[in-house]
Structure 1
C-alpha cells in the first residue's frame, strides 16, 4: 500500500564517539501515533556535526540493514542529512541502531532521479518509481519569443505518465532526440500525453490580483542537490516577474521521494502574502473536489483516467477556487496558500489509472486525504 508523506524532520543527534576507534553508535525509536500503517515516509536525521561519511542503519529487532541516503543539502562538500523510510504498523513503533559502516555497503538502485536536459532544448525532468515530471528553461522560452519552432513558454509542471517502476527519463529522451521513437506514444512504459501550455500543469503557481491570475515565465537556472534510492531534489530560479504592478521573486526547491506520487514544493517568494498553486482543468470534463488541505481533479484522458492533486498543511492552506475562463489553457483549480516568512510549502502530483496505482477517483481522493492526515501527524523520533 502506498503511503504518502514527505516527513521533513530534523533530529539533533548527540552521538558518543570513541576517537581512538573512530566508531560511534546511537539507538533511537520512531513512533507512529496514527491508526494507519505507515511506509514510504522519509525521515531526515541531522548528521552535519558527525565527521564521518559512511553510516549503517539497522532495525534493532530484526537486524535488517535499512536503505539510507546521504545528502549534502547546501552543496558545501559536507553531508548534512541521512534519509531512510521506516515501515511501521498503526499505533506502534520501531527501534533503530545507527552506527559507522565498517564494511562496504551494497549500493541501492537510483530510483529517484533528476537532471537538466540540454539535448531536448533545456527541460528539467525528475522521477521516482511511480511518476515523472518536467518543466522548461530559458532556451525554450527564447525560441518562442524569437518565433523559432519547437520552443515552450510555460512555468507550469508537466506530468510524464509512466507505468513501470524503473527510470524512464533518459530512455524516453534518447529515443525521441535520436529519432528512434517518441515519448508521446505508449509502447508499454507510458507516455507524455499531458498537455500543459500556459496552464499551471500539476502544481505551478500564480498570484491573483483582482480577478486575474499572473505567473512567471520559464526557469532561468537550476541546481541539482541529490539523486538516489530515496530522494531527488533540486532548485529552480526564475526571473522576477510582474503581477499587475507587484514585483514577484520566485525560487522553487522541489523534491520527490521513493514511493510517492506527489512532489514537495518549497518556494521562496517575495512581493506577495498569498500565492495560488494550480491544477490544469484541460477540457473541463473532469470532476473537482475541494476539501480543507487538499484539492483534486479526476478526468478522462485518452484511453484512461487521471487524478491530479495538491495538499498543504494548516500553516499554509487558506482556501480553494475553481477558475474557469474561455482563454486557452488558463482554466485551473487553485489552492490559495499563505506565504509565511517568504516561504510556502505544498505537495503536488498525479495518479494515472493505467499505471494500476489507482483504480478510480475514490482511491485517488483517499490517497490525498491520507496524505493530508500524515503530514499533520508526522512520525515521532525519540532518542534512547
Structure 2
C-alpha cells in the first residue's frame, strides 16, 4: 500500500455513468479526514507511477468513482513534465468530519458525461501588452511581462513595471478573462467598470499586490522586475497551473534567482505559489496596504496574515497569505513608508531546499463569498488548519 499526503483546493461535480471495467480488481483510493471539519474544495493528486495498469490499459482512460454511490467524479489529467503524456490525475472528494471515504480507479471505454468547463484557466495576453492572467470560479489575478517593463524604461505610455500580483474582482462563477480582454480591446477601460460581472479596480503599482515576493535586508525590502518568460502547464475544470521566470535581481549585494510555479484550483480564493529561489534564506511575501487605512491581522502562530479594507471604494475587500507549513512563517511586519506603493503587510517565510510555498488570495464583498472581516478571518483559520492537517490518501 502506498501512502500519499496532499492538499490543495478544488470542487468536483459527481455524476452517474456506466464504465466498462477491464480490471479484475479495481484500484481503491482511501481518503481520510482527521479534522472536526467537513472537507471540500481540496484536490487529490494521483500519480501515474502509483497506479497499476494491466496490459492494454492506459492512464488517460481512468475515471474516479465513489465506491459507495458509484457516482463518477469530475477529474482532470495533467502533463506535469510536459513530455506529451499525462502523469497526474486530479479529483475532488467531499469528506465529512472525522471520517474516511473510498474511491475506485476504473478503466472506461465509453465517454464519461461530466461538466468539463474550463473554470480554471490561465494564459499569456499579448493583446494587452504582455500580461499573464489566471482565474477560477471565485477569483482572478494577473501579473506583468517584459514588454510592459521596457515601455516604462523607454518612457512609452501604457507600460507597467511591477512584479506584484494584481486582483481582478469577479462576482460570477463562469470564466471572464477572455471576455473582459476582448471587450477592453473594443472599448478601452471596459474592465475598469463593473458591468455586472465585476471589475479591475485593484491598484498594484510597485507594491506586492496579493502575494508578491521581496527580500529584506536590514530595514529595506528589495523586489524584482517583471517576469521574463512563461509556460502554461494545464487548464481545466479543476486546476490551472503555469511557471513564470524572472531575471536575476539584486538585493543589496545578494543576487537572487526566482522562478514561480503558480496554480489555482476550483472552489477557493487562493492561488498556490511554489517559489524556487536562491541567494536568500528567507523570502518576504506581501499584501499591499493601499492607502494605509485598512485593518491588519498578523497571526504568525497559525501561519497567516490578513488585510481588510472596510472602505474599498463603495465595498470591502480582504487579502491574505497562508503558509503551507505554519512553522515556516517566522515573522510578520506591518511596513509603512512614505514611498508610493511600498507600504505592505509582510510575512517572512523560511526558504527550505531553495523553495518557499504559500497561498495568497482575496475576497470581495460584492462576490458574496466572505462579505465581512469576521467571515473572512474564520475562513483563513479553517483554511490554515486544513493546509497544516492535509487529507490522508492511500492507494491499494
Which range, TM-score by smaller chain? over 0.9
How far off its partner does 1:315 sit? 4.7
C-alpha displacement of 1:314 = 2.9
Q: 1:105 pairs with 97, 104, 112, which one? A: 112
Please give the residue correspondences for 1:7-86 in structure 2 after superposition, counting only pairs within 5 Å: 25-48=26-49, 51-86=58-93
Matched, 1:187 2:195: yes
Equivalent of 1:361, from 373, 378, 395?
373
| Residue of structure 2 equivalent to 1:261 | 269
1:321 and 2:333 equivalent?
Answer: yes
- Counterpart residue number, 1:198: 206
Q: TM-score, normalised by structure 2?
A: 0.91
Equivalent in 120, 129, 135 of residue 127 of structure 1 = 135
| Offset, 1:383 | 3.1
Counterpart check, 1:370 vs 2:371: no
Choose from 224, 240, 261 the match for 1:232: 240
Provide the residue aligned with 2:362 in structure 1.
350
Alpha-carbon separation, structure 2, partners of 1:205 and 1:142: 21
Matches within 5 A, 1:269-284: 269-284=277-292
Cα separation, 2, equivalents of 1:234 and 1:260 = 18
Is the 1:316–1:345 Cα contact (8 Å) retained in structure 2?
no
Tell me the CA shift for residue 28 of structure 1.
1.9
Whether 2:218 is the aligned partner of 1:207: answer: no
Q: CA deviation at 1:105?
A: 1.8
Partner SS state of residue 255, structure 2: strand
Q: Which residue of 1 aligns with 2:4?
A: none
- Is the CA contact (8 Å cut-off) linking 1:24 and 1:100 kept in structure 2? no
Report the counterpart of residue 336 of structure 1 in structure 2: 348
For residues 190-218 of structure 1, give each alpha carbon's deviation from its aligned partner in whole angstroms, at most 9, with x where no partner exists: 00000000000000000000110001000
Give 2:316's aligned residue. 305
Alpha-carbon offset, residue 22 of structure 1: 7.6
Any conservation in 1 of the 2:124–2:133 contact (CA below 8 Å)? yes
Partners of 1:109 and 1:238 in 2: CA distance: 31
Deviation at 1:29? 1.2
Aligned with 2:99 (options 88, 92, 105): 92
Is the CA contact (8 Å cut-off) linking 1:7 and 1:44 kept in structure 2? no
**2: CA distance between counterparts of 1:153 and 1:215?**
11
After TM superposition, give the deviation of residue 177 of structure 1 in Å.
1.3
Structure 1 residues 7 and 180: alpha-carbon distance in aligned structure 2, compared to 1, 3 A threshold: closer
Moved more, 257-266 or 75-84: 75-84
**8 A Cα contact 1:112 1:232, kept in partner:** yes
Question: Which SS does the other structure have where 1:199 is aligned?
Answer: coil
* Count of residues in correspondence between the two structures: 369
Whether contact under 8 Å (1:129, 1:164) holds in the other structure is yes
Number of the residue aligned with 2:306: 296
Residue 353 of structure 2: SS of its match in structure 1?
coil
Q: Give the TM-score taking structure 1 as reference length.
A: 0.93
1:359 Cα shift? 2.2
Given the superposition, is the C-alpha separation of residues 334 and 180 from structure 1 closer, same or farther in structure 2, using an over 3 Å criterion? Answer: closer
Question: Over residues 39-80 of structure 1, what are the superposed CA-to-partner deviations in whole Å (9 max), with x where a residue is unaligned?
Answer: 000111111465432211110111111110000011011211
User: CA shift at 1:316, angstroms?
Assistant: 2.3
SS of match in other structure, 1:183:
helix
Distance 1:181 1:349 in 2: 24
Residue ranges of structure 1 left out of the alignment (5+ in a row): 9-20
2:155 and 2:24 map into 1 onto residues whose CA distance is 61
Q: How far does the alpha carbon of each residue in 1:230-286 deviate from its partner, in whole angstroms, 9 at most, with x for none?
A: 000000000000001000000000000000101000000000000100000000111
Which whole-Å CA distance do the structure 2 matches of 1:345 and 1:269 have between them? Answer: 11
Counterpart contact for 1:241–1:249, Cα < 8 Å: yes
Partner SS for 1:369:
helix
Q: Secondary structure at the match of 1:139?
A: helix
Separation in structure 2 between the aligned mates of residue 144 and residue 339 of structure 1, nearest angstrom: 32
